[in-house]
Structure 1
């Protein structure tokens, strides 16, 4: 009998894994699922009855809203399908380009363009790869950058960023045609035309603590004034339109670059020549003679010509209605307001005496990122994405040195705030008294002069009553203009919090810094509206190959569960208990011990991460290593970190999730992860960043190592593949290790006997349900989302630690820093409360504990 043929893969379905490792992750993107229109077409073919008039109206309204945000909307006619080849039946007809005509020299061109979703595939082995990559970074958002292929998406926000750095519609289409292997699809050209015509026409400017909308085209502003929403937002006493001279563009030199060094040297030479000229000049002319007068006359004439050519039109809007205007322009009118700050022409705000130290020189990619921010001589608001360890902090400091106006820096925790202050003093010549920290534990006095404030998000967005000193400081912050707002770790802040920040603090420009511009929900898109477009994103693999960040070998170590632990794991009724059993797996403990011993003998500095505090203490105390978690005192914490960095006898430190973003340990070369936060891709990337700083040792091949220990046949393997998706898209490959060679011969290996394992299991089972929970860190913005804390009580929890709120499945899957958990019926806190009400319940509890202990003893005797 002939073998049965498998059904063809459904169009649009995610493909099966083809990589070598069983646990090799795959990232699933939205375009791999059928769109709403495709689903409706398919349902109609299957005989689904037609929708009613209301449904048709809603669909038409929805299509009108999203039309200009999808390249596929500009495809006017359906492409003629060819015969294809035998593989064509495996592909959706929309994505089968078998019959697409190629250019004669297509082998020299590196780009493929998908007309239906704006995806661009770039070949890294093409001769023109470098030029094409530099172009795509400006007009598209990178999705995946592996060794041989890169994938980008052309989106409205990426084209917005392209227009903001000076690219025109003609520039974009011409370059796409130059690099593309095929003719650029007409719908892509139309999409670029529609988007570029909308973006960059109107700008939002803050002058003298007043908001203005300006444009080079007066007709656009007249249209806005006639709009029923924006018209009433105009300040009533202001003139309809005012015309003024446009600020002088260009001529700006970013500190820390080669141009800055050359300018400094040229200025010194000119100063020296000027002094020599003054010594030799015997002229009595007060203004330097007739030649100088002639030069000044020519300069004034040139200045008058510029005044006639460069003009902008503006009108003032009410500052309290700025969010209404921004939302209406972005969503309804498709005319996003770009925020630009002409800091060189700002005479209202005091100048900050700050500059980079002469010995400080920024790297080329940092200069490239800052050039996108200051490309036209003004400061644009936007987001810069750099890997951990690539110098994001220095980018923020250089931006502050370029503007030379008052700066406010927002951080995630008090520890980060202290590090930002130290970095400002280290890299710039700022007066230490002008850098003030404003956190829950440290509240410096804000001077009336230009200064730098470093504070936490929670201090700015707090809605409860403040202490007198805190309220006075906040009044000072909200009552003045700020030249630059730097938002550290911008990806993890909820949109609602940003709205409160932008409402309370008036700032001319905003700069968001992050290493992982991703979330498990769709709120990452809010940053384009609240801050600005993504100005620059670096290539992780490229920086690694150039030596700017470490070369890391990533590995996933599979640790089999012992029989007794796995039996209890299968019988556990709650997620917390199962998580604790998989984390305390004796085989995982042994793997951790073996890897620590191996890398200590190599001379590495090792960080071991555990989100579970109970496991952290058990591992660290069992291996006699120092550890730090949220409740560790500041003095002890500093002592441990100093010994780790400078004492050769201390090569390993155990950290809870407090070390994800708050600690700077450049000496670390090896990282071992024994427990983590479910499927968080962001946390995986942040932890890898702890060892990404360029290493002093120049070993051939890899000079840093990242191990993720997972217990086999548990939920850890599922979450591990989800966590790795972002790093795989950055080009990192995870090697799967199923057996550590030499671990069986290691002396003093813990839990090598049945008695030791049963003792450990008994201790784990006797732990309460809270032992399997994630750590809550006091004064950390992202650790305290689901518990209520009593203010002034040292972070003590009140209530049952539950906060009810509406959410979506994407939120429960890891978005908004939440996760779906299973709980047994009833609250354990209520049970404990009931026990304490009567002596009878206390006696029943003691009897239950005795029976449980007797069962454990009997099991040990039988084992």
Structure 2
């Protein structure tokens, strides 16, 4: 026991981390491996240890004793014995159920339990009984191979994670290599480590998720896995812009001929040895009663690998299709496993467990991504707007605060502060962005703009012909603008943690000179926007970023060359994180 350590570890699986403690950074680094940040007031950050956080840790090689030892090394007082038992029990479940190749007829697999009693428990569950599992031995049950994904999904939801060792079919062979670019191309060390982690050992690899910051080169890691597998591949990503970027990387860095690479979007329907498609086209249907006709793409060719880019955005219909193709290798790429719909367990069971994670700040220390100074700017509301806000309800209340006209003047002054920087102004509401675009005389990119025109503006921004660009949420994902060094967020989607992380990711590419970037989040003072800002920032705070809180009345905020003041993430208050489901009903 030591009252000098940074954490208070509690029986209910929560951990309180003292922010001002000298051991804060060390403790945060350890907690990130097996706990999730749920609150971040200035005095104590609150972490929660969950079954999924423990199973992901186990998939990365952590044992229960290593987790308990890590907690003990940062705990102010003794770790509660009941919590130690919980950790041992939950981590111990990982690997006790295994799906393996059956010895019976083709099309059958076996579910093997570590002991007969565990299999008794599993077979007593009504949902499992309905799946067609049949006991074949005291510790084994037989299942149809086509139900492999459904059974993993159901058992994970019920608290029984399954280690899938049934292997994968090879798919149609495809020969490719790295294209020489003034010498042989090679992955960076951490990129190679990520690709190797996907491979796993002794049959444990071949499916799973790699988690790396925006700007870390996840696309190149995907190409590295494809180059290793030497097979036909289906790549699924978030939007048409990202499809173009994947195709450009495939063409630029591999020996694949352009005729071997297909685009499957709303504009084109090319099915080739390597095909890049969007989630939107897969989930498109003419009416709610119609089937998802483009889901047939999963079976159009003998794919040996499916890559799910931005896997945290995976729509529910794609989950269902993925449950039926568990014999195909599956690679998930993402900057954050956070999902606002609570479906993280489905990613775990159907795409695979976390195989590799690179902390954002660690990559920053290596110089591979920019150092970002984050500032929450609180903007006052004029009396008339304050009155309208007071009488509004639900989502309308939030929108009035988000579209505060006072933000325009703050944006003007921030642009004056960064006269030589390339700036992205990102917002949620088109009307607000249009008004800002017209007032500042800058171009606006939205989802309504043709892809060709979007591409032209992006290229002009890259070449420095356009210094400031306003963008809607179409720029949240997969937009490669390496020279952007300032992002000003004027509105967002309530408390979306993934959106905040992705928007900051737009400016993470390494920069010439001091390798520094600036992220400003504008929120209306004393409004629901402040509450949601706390939630939005949770993931980034967990990664080690700190938001200083400034006010639009502070002249020092806009002083050119002013030093960034180090501050705690939020003022000294512990407000609850708002529930997104209650956004429309709360006052």
Shorter-normalised TM range: 0.7 to 0.9
Higher strand share: 2
Corresponding residue for residue 565 of structure 2:
none
Corresponding residue for residue 521 of structure 2:
708
Contact 2:223-2:250 at 8 Å conserved across structures: yes
Matched, 1:654 2:550: no
Matched, 1:376 2:192: no
1:419-475 CA distance string (max 9 Å, x none): 2222333343333333322122210033xxxx3222122333445589xxx95x754
Separation in 2, partners of 1:677, 1:529: 28
- State how many pairs are aligned: 559
| Counterparts in 2 of 1:362 and 1:194: CA distance versus 1, 3 Å | same
TM-score by length of 2: 0.78
| Counterparts in 2 of 1:561 and 1:224: CA distance versus 1, 3 Å | closer
Larger radius of gyration: 1
Matched, 1:354 2:176: yes
| Counterparts in 2 of 1:613 and 1:138: CA distance versus 1, 3 Å | closer
Separation in 1, partners of 2:239, 2:125: 43
Matched, 1:741 2:555: yes
Give the deviation of 1:110 after TM superposition: 8.0
1:214-248 CA distance string (max 9 Å, x none): 65969699869987976886799xx958xxxxxxx
Corresponding residue for residue 109 of structure 2:
212
1:472-551 matches, within 5 Å, as 474-475=295-296, 477-478=298-299, 482-494=303-315, 496-551=316-371
Contact 2:393-2:585 at 8 Å conserved across structures: no
Contact 1:369-1:384 at 8 Å conserved across structures: yes
1:448-487 matches, within 5 Å, as 451-462=273-284, 464=286, 474-475=295-296, 477-478=298-299, 482-487=303-308
Give the deviation of 1:409 after TM superposition: 2.1
Give the deviation of 1:530 after TM superposition: 3.3
Corresponding residue for residue 595 of structure 1:
414
| Counterparts in 2 of 1:362 and 1:557: CA distance versus 1, 3 Å | same
Contact 1:340-1:380 at 8 Å conserved across structures: no
Contact 1:234-1:315 at 8 Å conserved across structures: no
Higher helix share: 1
Separation in 2, partners of 1:371, 1:439: 31
1:682-723 CA distance string (max 9 Å, x none): 222221111112212226xxx211122334354444433443
Matched, 1:814 2:580: yes
| Counterparts in 2 of 1:568 and 1:315: CA distance versus 1, 3 Å | closer
Contact 1:144-1:151 at 8 Å conserved across structures: yes
Separation in 1, partners of 2:444, 2:51: 47
| Counterparts in 2 of 1:596 and 1:811: CA distance versus 1, 3 Å | closer
| Counterparts in 2 of 1:589 and 1:152: CA distance versus 1, 3 Å | closer
| Counterparts in 2 of 1:420 and 1:633: CA distance versus 1, 3 Å | same
Separation in 2, partners of 1:737, 1:167: 40
Of 724, 727, 736, the match for 2:540: 727
Corresponding residue for residue 405 of structure 1:
231
Corresponding residue for residue 199 of structure 1:
94
Separation in 2, partners of 1:210, 1:480: 20
Contact 1:670-1:691 at 8 Å conserved across structures: yes
Kindly indicate whether structure 1 or structure 2 has the higher relative contact order, using CA contacts under 8 Å at least 6 residues apart.
2
Separation in 2, partners of 1:452, 1:487: 14
Contact 1:486-1:511 at 8 Å conserved across structures: yes
Contact 2:427-2:471 at 8 Å conserved across structures: yes
Secondary structure, aligned partner of 1:635:
helix
Secondary structure, aligned partner of 2:458:
helix
TM-score by length of 1: 0.55
Of 143, 151, 161, the match for 1:336: 161
Worse-superposed segment, 147-156 or 540-549? 147-156
1:1-20 matches, within 5 Å, as none
Secondary structure, aligned partner of 1:399:
helix
Q: Over the residues paired in the alignment, what is the CA RMSD in angstroms?
A: 4.6
Give the deviation of 1:610 after TM superposition: 2.4
Contact 1:206-1:508 at 8 Å conserved across structures: no
Matched, 1:419 2:232: no
Secondary structure, aligned partner of 2:555:
coil
| Counterparts in 2 of 1:147 and 1:223: CA distance versus 1, 3 Å | same
Contact 1:144-1:730 at 8 Å conserved across structures: no
Corresponding residue for residue 372 of structure 2:
552
| Counterparts in 2 of 1:125 and 1:399: CA distance versus 1, 3 Å | farther
Corresponding residue for residue 117 of structure 1:
13
Of 503, 509, 520, the match for 1:687: 503
| Counterparts in 2 of 1:164 and 1:122: CA distance versus 1, 3 Å | farther
| Counterparts in 2 of 1:571 and 1:538: CA distance versus 1, 3 Å | same
Separation in 2, partners of 1:403, 1:561: 57
Separation in 1, partners of 2:524, 2:23: 42
Matched, 1:604 2:421: yes
Matched, 1:676 2:492: yes
Contact 2:371-2:508 at 8 Å conserved across structures: yes
Give the deviation of 1:171 after TM superposition: 5.7
Matched, 1:160 2:55: yes
Contact 2:375-2:519 at 8 Å conserved across structures: yes
1:468-518 CA distance string (max 9 Å, x none): xx95x7546326554333222222345x32442224545433333222332
Contact 1:160-1:200 at 8 Å conserved across structures: no
Secondary structure, aligned partner of 2:506:
helix
Contact 1:560-1:711 at 8 Å conserved across structures: yes
Separation in 2, partners of 1:711, 1:511: 40
Separation in 1, partners of 2:155, 2:376: 48
Contact 1:480-1:506 at 8 Å conserved across structures: no
Give the deviation of 1:376 after TM superposition: 1.1
Secondary structure, aligned partner of 1:669:
strand
Contact 1:406-1:482 at 8 Å conserved across structures: yes
Contact 1:434-1:452 at 8 Å conserved across structures: yes
Structure 2, unaligned runs of 5 or more: 561-575
1:604-631 CA distance string (max 9 Å, x none): 1011122222222222122221221122
| Counterparts in 2 of 1:147 and 1:736: CA distance versus 1, 3 Å | closer
Separation in 2, partners of 1:148, 1:538: 27
Separation in 1, partners of 2:343, 2:395: 27
Separation in 1, partners of 2:531, 2:38: 22
